[in-house]
Structure 1
């Protein structure tokens, strides 16, 4: 038996050495178990900063260019947002700039160090951190800065900057997600076609009928649309008043009623009707692709993207991303079967990164390649259809690759990539692993594709003109992307501009065959496919002929949902596209029409509605350079054009050999001509320089802006630019949180000493005052926590101190703890036990949801018998010095929804070892345990929560589990009628909970298993159709539950050695002891109902349960009042 035990222990340890470790807090106190997410660090950053006075911009070495851009933009954005909110921040901002998203995800900022089971009195500090990362698009970087600034100002305005204001506001202010996150994101993005497409889809499918029932991104998007409706209807001037009254009255309903003169119910009805009326009037019927979707039933919520058809049309490759877990699929169009190629990431509640994987088919059609990022490195994978093998190689010298595509011969690919903080166009040769840089400036160059037998490159860019230069000026960036062509064969520095529509975004250019180029445009408010045809004509002749280029552009689709992306295969004459429809991403593939029709439908009032939104959005995005004034005013031209709908035009494209002639409009009155903004004529022209300040002339039918092919010299004098001194960052700490609460649980969880006797009573600590404070550095890499739990008589106090280091992948923590507890012994005396322990913990994360932990500690228990008589005075002081270690694997993939409500799985498997040098010979204690919890969504925030847990102890000494009751039970009861096996060498004791319907000790032993199941329903939040001001009602939950479990001694619960089957009859001092054997059902059950709610910040639990023991219901039911979250 001993040899088998040693073999089992060795095997268990071997498994854990491969899979995991854990630290403190196992079944020390019932169901309390520490889970939590992780951050995985692959890189080390040396932080420096620029001091701008009102804020500091932190960055790491080599990213000076991004840092300076972020610093300049933050100044304008801070002034803009502050003026819009009519609020001046009090204090210094910290803007933290990361080079790319994968490096940002390594940051510890926002990571919760430990889970709070008692929510009362926990006051998080309102920080002033704005964390951004570069995605290769400066417009997105601006949006991130705006979002961060708006979030800091909003929360400071609502909750205050001082500790006193934060405490008062946190206790009384209840702000729904659609209000807070909606406002912050509205300040960041305004109202644009992307958001409008999402809202249109949700509104028409009836999903946004009640904004109070929405959560997550739905709540955010609906909130953005509500704030946009308020601005469109009541004007921007009402926003500061709404925010101020929300803060002062602690009621958003009062604020809306006072400022807007309407109650919240009416406002919500008007908001819903406003958008729904516009959408139904403009598009009474859906117009979508005729072809059936590739995937009949796409999953939701799941993003489908990077749809790439093979050159022969038989296969498509696409990506899916569900909450951060990305997968690449190969789909056979003939067999209708798909194969998973690779997966990456975990489902987690963080920003979803759909910039990877990237996909491109080799022109042979025999293989395709993927570009992914792993542990900070960029890898190129090649998948061969013949043998289904995936091979990889590393690509260096780039910070991020944004897009790529093969050349016609498959030896090169053109790509948009980030290098030195800017996105440029490169041509990469795979064989030599070398690249050629095409553009080298600050402007964002995206979506490159080879065209015309790989002699030219088409791409989209926000550059101001058609001339390639090194460097450039950020202030000259356009607010939208246009389409350009680069002559790769001639290496010309002059680009051919295909589109020039101010305020309109064009993207995803692709060859369409012949001289046609396809691209996506949101000119009508809905992103549709457009075709551009380039023609040339002789401009003048001197010694040679000089040509001017004429571009004809027109839409070829008129969908009522935006095309999110397109991919075209000119050789096969097919296309693939993705559209969001009825909440799902629909993928389509079809053959290109030989003679596609140009759709120019009448643009109804919706176009004017969208142009108004875009104009308001751009008014908020003020630039400090006068060069942008004309670009902003040019939006008015678009609006005036869109107000007058053009007639429907049916245009049949000519064959490739024929070219359309320019229309002769010399005889037409310019005032009567309707301008087609998609038809451009580019001619050589003198240098056009915008005046410093000049109004835009009212030109309704003037020629399109002419191309500027002369280099522009940008003033870059020292008088305009302030020299910034780069300074090193040194670790400094600031308050992270403060806790002041009443609590009846132990401060640092640990096993209590077994108090022995025939009728042990497990002592819960009484209600005491818990004080705690936390400090962290700017990047939250280092944390210091300290706390004290003061008992009512100041006799049994607890103290602890913790220091954590998360700066590297291996997390480290040191905990020092001291506690005092009083125990009643079976001989009538009372012992006071002082416990001192120190624990060192290390954690190694595999991913953001999985980690291993290991800890080693030393514990000293000092037992003093309190003086009552002479024998108690003569009792010597007992000392027990116990070294211990723990190992565990922790997995936590839960998604928080609201308090005590989450979705997903989390689990922990652990092992503990205790050694008692002063105990029996070879006094070892081994504890093995597991705890798995799964939370299933039923409907919105109605969930079904399940927990399965168990533990066993082995060795010469034992740990006893008392089954029954709940955690943090006020006035707990103990069942003294259940005997404890006297043959077991128990040294520690703990609870196995919850087992409702019984007192503590309905079963006991050195093993236990327990199953708990709960239906959790936040009834008022679920049913009430408006925001609930009362936190008590908003967090109120009704539960139905059942518990099944047992604790036992022996090999199995049904073995004869189980102490529940034996009743010991005898008295102390009596030499005769009678043992009665009787078979009992080892398992007990409990079922009942309960309520949960937050009262003054404390999450209070009230349960009524009926127990079932040996098949008999126990009446009356048992009531429980306790504190704490989860089970």
Structure 2
């Protein structure tokens, strides 16, 4: 019947997840597979990695193998740790596919944008159009796998022991993983600068509470730079050995943890004070955009006339598109989409916005259930039209209108980012580029009366290849430069606008027919720059005209040795004219510009300036007046100074200069160098001769100089003598380190690989099988919770967790009532399937007859088939078909009992459910959000035909069940939770369920109220309706119940101390609660003939009574309870203690003490 599925899931989650009519009901979120691309998987294998891919993610998998092997040795060297197993990398085409994976439980797969997800030694990565971000994900994943193994061990025993005893602050692990992924960056520098300038945080500890990843990243960067790279691995090792961060700092740095923190704060304060000298605050008038909670702003786009600003606000996946009237200072929402999802990483790529040049239409590209949609909002009619984009597009990264009828896309097709010209009317496309280099931000321009596109790309040269380039020889690892593509010409060559190996250029935008503008972090801070194109003589050619009219063209310096000079008629020298860019700075800001867009016709520009408290949107007149180049920040100076010499500043391989002001730096502990002849890394011989070319400081090419042409040749390679691959050096040039050669034809199809995921043995007294007892087989009146038993179970999963098998058993301490179960889940496709089997045997001693002992055995046997169809991540429809047999057998103790036949009851049931769950677990027994289950079930008896006949027949009668369970969790006072629950069920038909109200789930010492009789009726099953504290079980009963619970959960010690090393104190909670509810028979709990208010006394033998006395009195059917409680984690069990007063018929009852196991609702 319907209860069997919940029973099996109860065992599945042990103490933390029994599924009874009490508080523990199955909810759960979903993974939705919107396509069939996951049907077939393949793999590449390298020396240290298995990389799994599917469908069109093959190109990403090849790059992932090479990037992983490229950085593997460096991360091993950083952490100084080894593991024996190969790391598994699972590759997805984009973040949407990434979020559809079945791998990882609901809690384990909670992910955050910008952070790589790992489960065990498996890394999940996806492609967002930028190979440098893919590389960062892989580095972060490798570091996470190694760090987990190093800190928590490789086997189950070590993991459990260290997880309990080693309580690390969040900044420790998150910061180290971020540091290993990318030691430092312009974005990190700006975020930390903004946080320290805001004066919001008083000290590192307060800062780390709100921003653990950035705070930890900055501290690890400081440690590696000033104490040496070896301090990182030493600190990790000693922290694990001593199980204390403070001890690790003391032993490794030779100074206390507070002293290091003080040095960190002083260091960055002085450093940023020097960086700010001579810089300006962003100008422009800030717009009054309503964004009190500072949700991410994106896609700031000015209308062609400059009077309207379009922008998008993204609230954890739920986005809104606004139009802001710059003349009236008002805004309104014109478009909504997406779904709020706090559980998984937010996709901030969508929506994309673009204004039609006609100034009356705004186009929006967004994703809905893995389909790309192109919508257009008409400002005159205020109507929106929508259509699907061409199916070949996997993802669109940026777009701009070329004319009223066509757009330019930067999009991914076959996991390759290229430029396309898209025609909305015909839904057709024309490819503009076709290579594996990444194309990102773009802008349509009309320069010198020719249509073109300026775009950001990490390509090394300006030639567009005619044939595909082998991916195993070169990977796009450079920073992003700007290029110009002439849409009216047929040339296969681009115009390079910038060449900056240590900085990125982003957000190009048109100014007029001569100028364009963009932002660049050339100085270490994103500033505005502008430029224009000019002609120059690239070289000269000889045009040789022969007597027969043939023309031969060669370079001016070349000669034709085999050509008979008598055949030459004439020779002309002609210049070859090409274009190059001249750029100049337009600002010198003290903070990053995050985005920039212009309105050439309206002569305005809009800027997005991020701030810690609230991002500013500034509008001002177009700024294209040249200014002096901004001075480099300290971080940028260090990068330029040491990257060519191979002294990777980002990994602390050298001792660089202190900031210009006197910052406090703690010296690295001295050590003995056993190799006295070896030149330490980071040192050079002092000589009267110049530095070798390979050791000269790296200088970016001056883009202001007109003394040389910008040709199509790649920049000179950066030679790194250090054997460690520098992440930053790879951005400068991808040819400095040999890549792992991969045989792309050696593909191994993925075959099912099962592994033991979990083995559990523990005490358990959860109400299984929804607590439904068969009344026909229960000799004792009332409801008795099961005794504690030993639960043993094992879970086996395949690598992708599409298939899962679980089997287990529970033995009560009385050794009576053993239970066995097996569950198989198939989650490969969108429609999930479940097959389940369950059996239970229980024996009773009946009163003896004529001194002959009687013994009875009951057996429950059920099979189950369930379907789950996810509507989205939070909503699902579920159907469960159950076949159940209840058998009662009199065990043979004499000839009479030997002849008593077994009595069996067979039932078949179908349950339908709607489940909603968007909760997020913030701590143990703490959640945010809402969840709800609405269910209905029909059950019917059937019997098998007599011997010699096949089939079965249905019996008369049926049982129907309707139920609701809704819960809401509201955060209060920062760490606390106000939880509310409304639950109710009713059964109807010729058979019913008897619900006993009162008590709590998993009560260790249950009490029954025997003064209230069960109502008359044909009840097939009985179960518990909880929680109602202040009373014993059976304070009310009936075939229906309604219950309301409210709790205030306060982790009191988290308010008293910021650092809690004790798991007991960290998870200790004080509870205030209020319960109110009722259970009744019939249709109305307040009717006069309610059995609650009626007691019948009989006189005479059973069946021959001759006196009946009916006593009527009043009892309020509604009862309530209130009180206080405590929650604590003891020896791995979550223990609940409640002290409650009951309120019945306006009378306060004596208090009761409840001790139980398992989580609250």
- Shorter-normalised TM range: 0.7 to 0.9
Alignment of 1:346-365 (within 5 A): 346-365=340-359
Contact 2:499/2:701, CA 8 A, preserved across alignment: no
- Give the equivalent residue in structure 2 for 1:1038: 1070
Say if 1:191 and 1:228, in contact at 8 Å, map to a contact too.
Answer: yes
Q: How does 1:928-967 map to 2 (within 5 A)?
A: 928-967=962-1001
Against the structure 1 CA distance between its residues 408 and 162, is the aligned structure 2 distance closer, same or farther, given a 3 Å change threshold?
A: closer
The equivalent residue for 1:1126 is 1160
Decide whether aligned partners of structure 1 residues 783 and 476 sit closer, same or farther in structure 2, where only a CA change above 3 A counts.
closer
State whether residues 194 and 612 of structure 2, in contact with CA within 8 Å, keep that contact through their aligned partners in structure 1.
yes
Aligned CA distance change for structure 1 residues 757 and 640 (closer, same or farther; 3 Å): closer
* Cα RMSD, aligned residues only: 4.0
Q: Which residue of 2 aligns with 1:169?
A: 162
- Comparing 1036-1045 with 24-33, which one deviates more in the overlay? 24-33
1:930-951 per-position Cα deviation (integer Å, ceiling 9, x unaligned) = 1111111123322211111111
- Structure 1 residue 233 and structure 2 residue 226: aligned? yes
For the pair 1:584 / 2:614, whether they are aligned, the reply is: yes
Q: Give TM-score, length-normalised by structure 1.
A: 0.85
Q: Tell me which residue corresponds to 2:554.
A: none
Distance in 2 between residues matched to 1:882 and 1:209, nearest whole Å: 66
Structure 2 CA distance, aligned partners of 1:614 and 1:1067?
103
- Return the offset for 1:970: 0.6
Question: How far is 1:979 from its partner?
Answer: 2.4
Q: For the Cα contact (< 8 Å) 1:924–1:956, is it kept in 2?
A: yes
Q: Does 1:794 align with 2:790?
A: no
Distance 1:714 1:758 in 2: 82
Matched, 1:805 2:805: no
Aligned to 1:144: 137
**Can you list the C-alpha shifts for 1:786-832, whole angstroms capped at 9, x where unaligned?**
11112223321111101000000100010101123456889998754
CA-to-partner distance for each residue in 1:662-705, whole Å, 9 max, x for gaps? xxxxxxxxx9xx99955344416797885896889xxxxxxxxx
Distance (whole Å) between structure 2 residues aligned to residue 599 and residue 978 of structure 1 = 90
1:622 paired residue number: none
- Say if 1:159 and 1:165, in contact at 8 Å, map to a contact too: yes
Aligned-partner Cα distance in 2 for 1:299–1:823: 65
**Once the 2 structures are TM-superposed, how far is the Cα of residue 115 of structure 1 from its aligned partner?**
13
The residue aligned with 2:1133 is 1098
Distance 1:483 1:95, change over 3 A: same
Q: Which moved more, 1:338-347 or 1:287-296?
A: 287-296
State whether residues 531 and 554 of structure 1, in contact with CA within 8 Å, keep that contact through their aligned partners in structure 2: yes
* Conservation of the 8 A alpha-carbon contact between 2:879 and 2:912: yes
Matches within 5 A, 1:499-514: 499-514=498-513
Alignment of 1:182-197 (within 5 A): 182-197=175-190
* Displacement after TM superposition at 1:531 (Å): 1.9
Report Cα offsets for 1:1096-1116 as digits up to 9, x if no partner.
22111111112111222222x
CA distance in 2, matches of 1:1006, 1:215: 54
1:572 paired to 2:602: yes
Residue 835 of structure 1 is matched in structure 2 by 860
Match of 1:388 among 379, 382, 386: 382
Structure 1 residue 1071: Cα displacement: 3.8
**Cα offset, 1:501, TM superposition:** 2.0
Instruction: Indicate how the Cα distance of structure 1 residues 207 and 1092 shifts in structure 2: closer, same or farther if over 3 A, else same.
Output: farther
Post-superposition CA distance 1:689-743 (Å, at most 9, x none): 85896889xxxxxxxxxx99xxx999999x9665651111111201122222111
How far apart are the structure 2 equivalents of 1:799 and 1:485?
Answer: 69
Paired residues of 1:499 and 1:678 also in contact (CA < 8 A)? yes
Alignment pair present for 1:561 and 2:586: no
- The reply on whether 1:774 has 2:809 as its aligned counterpart is no
How far is the alpha carbon of 1:920 from its aligned partner? 12
- Write the deviation string for residues 622-672 of structure 1: whole angstroms up to 9, x where unpaired: xxxxxx988989999xx9999899xxxxxxxxxxxxxxxxxxxxxxxxx9x
Pair 856,255 (structure 1): closer, same or farther in 2 beyond 3 Å: same
Q: Distance in 1 between matches of 2:785 and 2:1061?
A: 35
Q: What does residue range 278-427 of structure 1 map to in structure 2 within 5 Å? A: 278-279=271-272, 282-283=275-276, 289-300=282-293, 302-333=295-326, 334=328, 336-396=330-390, 398-427=392-421
Cα deviation, residue 1032, structure 1: 1.1
Alpha-carbon distance between aligned partners in 2 of 1:481 and 1:115, rounded to the nearest angstrom: 32
3-state DSSP of counterpart to 1:1025: coil
| 2:40 is aligned with 1:39 | no
After superposition, give the CA deviation of every residue in 1:945-988 in whole Å (9 maximum; x if it has no partner): 11111111111111111111111111111111222212x22221
Aligned residues: 1043
- Of residues 248, 258, 266, the one that matches 2:241 is 248
Q: How far apart are the structure 2 equivalents of 1:629 and 1:156? A: 34
Shift of 1:1015: 1.4
Q: 1:765 — aligned with what? A: 786
CA distance in structure 1 between the partners assigned to 2:199 and 2:1045 by the alignment: 37
Q: Does 1:598 pair with 2:619?
A: no
Change (3 A) 1:876 1:454: farther
Between the aligned partners of 2:1010 and 2:532, the Cα distance in structure 1 is 91
SS at structure 1 position matched to 2:215: helix
Q: Post-superposition shift, 1:1056?
A: 2.2
Distance in 1 (CA, whole Å) between partners of 2:109 and 2:886 is 28
Q: Does 1:1087 align with 2:1112?
A: no
Distance 1:284 1:775, change over 3 A: farther
1:3-36 C-alpha deviation (Å, 9 max, x unpaired): xxxxxxxxxx9xxxxxxx9997797341111111
Q: Which stretch shows the higher mean deviation, 867-876 or 464-473?
A: 867-876
TM-score normalised according to structure 2 size: 0.82
Q: Which residue of 2 aligns with 1:999?
A: 1032
Q: Deviations over 1:570-590 (max 9, x none)?
A: 111122232322333333334
Take 1:438 and 1:156, find their aligned partners in 2: how far apart are those partners? 47
Alpha-carbon separation, structure 2, partners of 1:690 and 1:858: 74
| Inter-CA distance 686–166: structure 2 relative to 1 (3 Å threshold) | closer
Q: 1:692 to 1:320 in 2, by over 3 A?
A: closer
- SS of structure 2 residue aligned to 1:442: coil
Cα separation, 1, equivalents of 2:73 and 2:1033: 61
- Match of 1:431? 425
Distance 1:629 1:733 in 2: 49
Is 2:758 the partner of 1:728?
Answer: no
Cα distance 1:688–1:581, how it changes in 2: closer, same or farther (>3 A)? closer
Distance in 1, matches of 2:285 and 2:712, equals 52
Aligned to 2:610, the other structure's residue is in SS state strand
Taking the aligned partners of 1:299 and 1:183, their CA distance within structure 2 comes to 32
Deviation at 1:451, TM superposition (A): 0.9
Decide whether aligned partners of structure 1 residues 965 and 270 sit closer, same or farther in structure 2, where only a CA change above 3 A counts. farther
Q: Does 1:466 align with 2:462?
A: yes
8 Å CA contact 2:400, 2:442 repeated in 1: no
Q: Tell me, yes or no, if the aligned pair for 2:819 and 2:840 is still in contact at 8 Å.
A: yes
Whose radius of gyration is greater, 1 or 2?
Answer: 2
Mapped partners of 1:181, 1:1021: distance in 2: 21
Q: Report if the CA contact (8 A) 1:211-1:219 is conserved.
A: no
Once the two structures are TM-superposed, the CA of residue 904 in structure 1 deviates from its matched residue by 0.7
Distance 2:1030 2:500 in 1: 72
After TM superposition, the structure 1 stretch with the greater mean CA deviation from structure 2, 89-98 or 554-563, is: 554-563
CA contact (8 A) 2:132 2:477 kept: no
Distance 2:496 2:369 in 1: 39
Contact map agreement 1:1017 1:1038 (CA 8 A) in 2? yes
Distance 1:131 1:545 in 2: 54
SS in 2 for 1:916: strand
Take 1:675 and 1:509, find their aligned partners in 2: how far apart are those partners?
A: 20
1:444-491 C-alpha deviation (Å, 9 max, x unpaired): 111121112561211111111222224346636353111111222223
Paired residue secondary structure (1:1073): strand
Q: Answer yes or no: is the 8 Å Cα contact 2:8–2:836 preserved in 1.
A: no
Cα pair distance change 1:328/1:1076, threshold 3 Å: farther
What are structure 2's unaligned runs of at least 5 residues?
11-17, 111-116, 542-572, 662-695, 723-731, 944-952
Equivalences for 1:210-229 in 2 at 5 Å? 218-229=211-222
Q: Write the distance in 2 (CA, Å) between the matches of 1:209 and 1:370.
A: 43
Q: Partner of 1:896 in structure 2? A: 921
User: Using a 3 Å threshold, how does the CA distance of structure 1 residues 417 and 554 change in structure 2: closer, same or farther?
Assistant: same
